[in-house]
A and B are shown apart, each in its own frame.
Chain A
Amino acid sequence: MALYQSKMNRRDFLKLMGTFAGASAALASCAPEQIPPPAPTQVPPVVVNPTGVPPEPVLPPVSLGIIALNRMGYGPRPGDIEAFNALGATDEERLRNYVAQQLNPDSIDDSEFETRYAAAGFETLHKSLEELYFDHIANNPYNSNDDAYWEWYSLPAYELVDASFLRAVYSKKQLVEVLADFWHNHFNVYFWQDDGVPLLVSYNRDVLRRHMLGNFRQMLEAVATHPSMLYYLNQNNSSDAGPNENFARELFELHTLGAENYFGVQDPNAIQKDANGIAIGYVDNDVYESARAFTGWRVDDDIYEYEDGVEKTGRFLYYKPWHDRFNKLVLGKYIPPDQPDMQDGRDVLDLLANHPGTARFISRKLARRFISDNPPDSVVQTAASVFMEYRDAPDQLKRVVEAILLSPEFKQTWGAKIKRPIEAAISMMRALNTDFTRLPGGIPWMCSMMGQPMFEKRSPDGYADVKEAWANSMSLLYRWNFAVGISENWLDDEDQQRFIRTDIVGQTPAELRTAESLADFWIPRILNRTMSESDRQAVISVMAQDRGPQEELDQDHINWVLPAMVEVILMSPDFQWK
């Protein structure tokens, strides 16, 4: 993690982008009348329970369509469950067909999304790595003392955030979007990493999306040679005179073998070897030797000015003068001196990508995303076997994902996870058929209040994928506030003229006039299933307010209260499971 920020800091950027600058003022001018305060509430002391591990939920079974749409995507939009159900005669057949379709995204008609994407008119997302570097870094036309310089510098990365939300909400290639998020977190690069912010667009497109249904070994090399990663983990400065171990360490610990295969600070000779003489796990010495193997892997950015053979293209550069030419020993394998360009690093990537420990680590992480916070070993083993068997195949990762999605465990674990904040926010917009083209700044801001600003995990481990990280008061409160903001149409961004609309009343059949009938329309519309009777009654009571559940409601009452009722469905535990 390179944390020396000579040129920028995040607060300045946020201020510049002005996302929320006008919010307080806008609100002050039309703050609601003060609500008469209710009677004081006595908050009882918490008497702490000595055995505090909460039980897993016990939920009624749901159809495979609900599981598939919530786990392989960001929750169903209206009509999605019906489309899933049309894919076969049995749930099993439908799931097989849906998985096949989602794993072959080019076969999917995505015209609605494409129309919106075209209308959004992104200025920078089509640019190549070199163009991003040239236009937004090397030849930024503005003066670096001006706001305009930093706006231009950060524009591509901001557009990437906008486009990522747009895709997640509207694209039918939902699995692609879930995987793009998964792999960004796996090979995490912090949005504000030094020196290369605009290049995140290329990293996301040319590295993650390009390889995530392909071959892991190829993906790994694409990651290890992309400027975004080289900058983020200080690889850009790593030379034979002083190898920087940051990238090498995270390559082992986070990208491939995982901490589960780390044996700490030990003599490498003490580690058990497999039949091929490869160590079954790694120690610190492997990190240091690998750091030497990667010396000279840098960016062609001429940061030291006037070095021979270095220009300013922003591309990956193998810089031989910085490479440590001597022999290395990694995971028990001897790497000879004076190998051809890049071969030392490639040998390390080969060792890691073909290691059974990596197969298990990657498989477990994917299963954690798709199945449960603590996925059963059975499915991890199945997926790891596929990973190893197809390690040279061009569609290795597609096969691994397929093995997980078609596993019995996928179907049997509903409710073993809760949606993460970004997933919750996007699934609300999907469920309500919310309409936007350019994303108002309030949407990512709300995600940051929930603890998950997109692409802004500063440390290289990515956002946690277990419920303990997200089931807390601040995060849940803003999840609930998001339900209110999106349903009440309070998230427009007038400064930037970006609008987001949810028409709840307009999506409700006009003949429904009672609290009960409105609840019974919207509960299955959002959840695609029923709620428990007590939860249903809670929803009805919000809709009814001081009227009876079957009393005919006037239009003013419906206009005001119906969004609040819908919000409660979105806030409910039932909406959070996946």
Chain B
Amino acid sequence: MPTLKLTRRNFLQGCSSAIAAMAGARLTNVAFAQQDDPTDTLIVVFLRGGWDALNVVPPMDGDDRGFYEKARPDIKISDLLPLSDQFGMHPALAPLHGLYQDGRMAVIHAVGLNYDTRSHFDAQEFIELGTPGSKGTTSGWITRHLQGSGVSSILPALSTSGAPSSLLNFVPTVNLNDPADFSQWDNGLAGSQQAALRQMYNGETLLHRAGLRTLESMSIVSPLVEQEYQPSNGASYNDDELSLQLKTVARMIKLDAGLRVATVDYGGWDTHEYETDGNGGYIADLLGNLASGLSNFYLDLDSGYTDRLSVVVISEFGRRLVQNEDYGTDHGHGSVMFTLGGGVNGGQVYGAWPGLHNDQLYDHADLAITTDYRQVLSELLTRRMGETNISNVFPGFSPTPDLGIFRTI
């Protein structure tokens, strides 16, 4: 960092009332090393709160439709978008239906965390650590994948929503919401402050490493700070929480800085009451945002990036088959996952269907699980991400033969 001269003495006098949040002074120019990028970029969208899988992808026909309607007289979904003879999507997911029909999106049903818990926080933690039943590990499943891959990248991991446990102790993670906010406030001396911080944060503890990574992150993100973003292909992001994160992820992918994994969170799925109003209402709004966000993200990246893109949509559990008295649903078990991307064998619903007859339910109450969520992720990691050591990523887990959700890269 060159020392900055005292050229701006009058700055403080003129600007005492300015809030510098938006100053966005670019402190560094950045030049990236060429990235050798043989794998996909994986986007993990975690829907916090336990989404109601049976209202996201309800049965369309047969006995199970009957059980479903009987259990949910006030909150059942109709006019489904067909996925197969047996299942359809909630109509609010219409923007994704084309991607499904084009074979870019697959659905995995009766999937989830095969562990006896109906706690949000346990279930989320177990899924993200990748160690059902144990919270003792000091790393998340993405951490172990990236550490084991020997990845060399400027930007191996991005989180747009805090510090998820799937990236626990993966210090190279860049964490940001919106590039426009990601710069150091500057009275003209930030350059010399950063030089001092580089010295002070030169150490090995979590805090030191995170501090150095913050300084590096500013360099990585700096080309975007003042840029007015124009999505490709006429894609248009809404301003809901999910879409804003996906837009940030798209921009970071387009930096070509070797992004391997990004995590995105979208909360609000804990629908204990007033879940639907016909086919509209609360969950339809959430699903509408999800579909709009993902479809625009896909469109935006269908500009040379989708061949190396895999998106996974996951939640900690599904919900009870039977509605409760408050027109909602309580915590359940089996769930549904989506995958999107150029390497997805889409247009299919994967997973054995356990049925909704009372004897077929988990604990006589919830959709059972026939596919472990780790099976889906293992296939993805092996086929698209170059992972060769699944037992390191998911200790104690033995994958079954592939369901065939992904093509080998």
Contact = CB atoms under 8 A, between A and B. Distances in A.
B272 A2 contact: yes
Given A26-B19, A468-B206, A52 B169 contact: yes
A549 to B, nearest CB: 13
Contacts of B12: 488, 559-560
A277 interface: no
Interface in A390-446: 418, 442
Contacts of B175: 472-475
B25 interface: yes
B5 A45 contact: no
Interface in A450-472: 451, 458-459, 461, 467-472
Nearest to B325: A242
B182 A474 contact: yes
A175 interface: no
Max chain A Cβ within 10 angstroms of own Cβ: one of B205, B268, B282: B205
A249 B331 contact: yes
Given A39-B29, A471-B210, A481-B184, A237 B138 contact: no
Contacts of A491: 19
B156 to A, nearest CB: 6
Interface string B95-124: 000000000000000000001111111100
A484 B274 CA distance: 45
Contacts of A32: 8, 11, 15, 23, 25, 186-188
Contact of B119 (A249, A449, A472, A534): A249
A40 B27 CA distance: 10
Contacts of A474: 175-177, 182
B311 interface: no
A341 B148 CA distance: 60
Interface in B137-195: 138-139, 143, 146-154, 156, 159, 162-163, 168-177, 181-182, 184-193, 195
B21 A489 contact: no
A140 interface: no
A381 interface: no
A335 interface: no
A572 B200 contact: yes
A1 B172 contact: no
A100 to B, nearest CB: 33
Given A30-B15, A50-B147, A259-B122, A470 B272 contact: no
Interface in A15-43: 20, 23-24, 26-35, 37-43
Nearest to A556: B9
A468 B117 contact: no
B196 to A, nearest CB: 4
A560 B182 contact: no
A306 interface: no
B20 A27 contact: yes
Contacts of A241: 325
A538 interface: yes
A244 B18 contact: no
Contacts of A105: none
Given A473-B176, A476-B210, A535-B199, A266 B116 contact: yes
A27 B330 contact: no
Contacts of A572: 197, 200
Max chain B Cβ within 10 angstroms of own Cβ: one of A237, A239, A546, A574: A237
B196 A568 contact: yes
Nearest to B178: A474
Contacts of B269: 3
Contacts of A568: 193, 196-197, 200
A48 B146 contact: yes
A564 B192 contact: yes
A488 B13 CA distance: 11
Interface size class of A (residues with CB under 8 A): 35 or more
B176 A30 contact: no
A539 interface: yes
A245 B267 CA distance: 20
Contacts of A259: 119, 121-122
B211 A476 contact: yes
Interface stretch (B213-221, B334-342, B396-404): B213-221
Q: Is the interface of B mostly helix, strand, loop or mixed?
A: loop
B1 to A, nearest CB: 6
A234 B282 CA distance: 16
Max chain B Cβ within 10 angstroms of own Cβ: one of A30, A41, A245: A41
A49 B147 contact: yes
Given A46-B172, A259-B121, A573-B200, A545 B326 contact: no
Contact of A477 (B32, B154, B184): B184
A264 interface: yes
B118 A265 contact: yes
Nearest to A28: B22
A27 B18 contact: yes
A568 to B, nearest CB: 5
Interface stretch (A53-61, A90-98, A202-210): A53-61
Nearest to B282: A4
B151 to A, nearest CB: 5
A192 to B, nearest CB: 12
B227 interface: no
A567 B30 contact: no
B46 to A, nearest CB: 13
A51 B207 CA distance: 17
Interface string A331-360: 000000000000000000000000000000
B182 A47 contact: no
A535 B199 CA distance: 7
Interface in A541-558: 541-542, 545-546, 556-557
Given A38-B2, A244-B325, A490-B18, A473 B217 contact: yes
B270 interface: yes
Interface in B1-43: 1-9, 11-12, 14-23, 25-33, 35
A571 B220 CA distance: 21
A484 B188 CA distance: 11
B164 to A, nearest CB: 10
A35 B116 contact: no
B245 to A, nearest CB: 12
B188 A43 contact: no
Q: What are the nearest 7 A-B pairs in CB distance? A: A242-B325, A264-B116, A471-B210, A538-B196, A472-B175, A265-B116, A30-B15
Given A485-B20, A563-B187, 9 more contacts: A28-B22, A30-B18, A42-B31, A49-B147, A52-B147, A54-B208, A262-B119, A485-B21, A489-B16
15 contacts: A24-B22, A32-B186, A35-B186, A43-B30, A246-B330, A249-B331, A259-B121, A264-B117, A266-B116, A459-B267, A470-B163, A474-B182, A484-B187, A490-B185, A492-B19
